[in-house]
Amino acid sequence: MRKFLTVMGFLFTSISIMAQIEIPNNSTRFEPTQPNNNTPTGFEIPASKAPGLTVPRNPRTTTQLDLGKDEERNINMMGDDGLMEYNSNITPKYFTKDKEEKPEYGKDMYLGDFKTNAKTVSILYRDHEYVDGDRVRVYVNGEIVINNVMLEGSFRGFDTPLQDGFNRIEFEALNQGTSGPNTAQLQIRDEIGNILASYEWNLLTGRKATAIIVKQ
């Protein structure tokens, strides 16, 4: 029994001595370092600019200029005879003489007819060939509105209101000037200057050229 106790005491002493021996720690320790944000690494996300409250101006955007409204075009009565003169871009032809007289010029001439919604029209006429003193008398719906007027190289005429339905415009040749028949060009325009119709005539003295305007 004593021998057994001696052996157990020896073992207990050996275990106590081994427990006091420090076991070395072989693990590696890393000291914390301060990160350097100034050194680029290639993985940085570019900073985005905070949106502003103002809308940037587009350099292509142009500013519209208010040029105002077009002035209304009024036709003024000119001349001692109460006729208005219309300056057209059409240059009149100045022949040395008119066309030769033909038998068909000795008949009344129907120029044509057209429809319009215009309330008023301008009746304009001129000698479009040789200006040789041709004269005409103008009727509207059977009434004389211009008794005697000489046809010149530029357009002259007058405004006339239209009645509902048919409106008859007639030109009577009072003479044939100094050369050939009575020659003329007629233009009929609406209130804003649009050409509604354009005709020409060649008449012997006393004959008439007639145009019909139908107001709808």
Domain residue limits, the chain? 84-91+102-215
Give 129's pLDDT tier (boundaries 50, 70, 90). confident
Q: Is the dihedral of CA 138, 139, 140, 146 positive or negative?
A: positive
pLDDT tops 80 at residue 205: yes
Q: What is the mean pLDDT of residues 159-185?
A: 95
* pLDDT, averaged across the chain: 74
CA-nearest of 187, 171, 201, 186 to 99 is 201
pLDDT tops 80 at residue 162: yes
State whether residue 3 is helix, strand or coil: helix
Which pLDDT score, from 0 to 100, does residue 141 have?
97
Q: What is the mean pLDDT of residues 163-180?
A: 95
Separation of alpha carbons 178 and 182, rounded Å = 10
**What's the token pair of residue 69?**
């409204």
Topology, domain 84-91+102-215 = Lipoxygenase-1 (2.60.60)
* pLDDT greater at residue 96 or residue 67: 96
CB 165 within 8 A of CB 115: no
Query: What is the per-residue pLDDT across 46-87, written as a single tens digit (0 to 9) for each?
Result: 555 555 554 444 444 333 434 444 444 343 333 334 455 555
- Reported pTM: 0.57
pLDDT tops 80 at residue 213: yes
Query: What is the per-residue pLDDT across 27-40, written as a single tens digit (0 to 9) for each?
Result: 555 455 555 555 55
Q: In one letter, which amino acid is 149?
A: V
Query: What is the per-residue pLDDT across 108-127, written as a single tens digit (0 to 9) for each?
Result: 999 999 999 999 999 999 99
Separation of alpha carbons 157 and 126, rounded Å = 9
* pLDDT greater at residue 116 or residue 98: 116
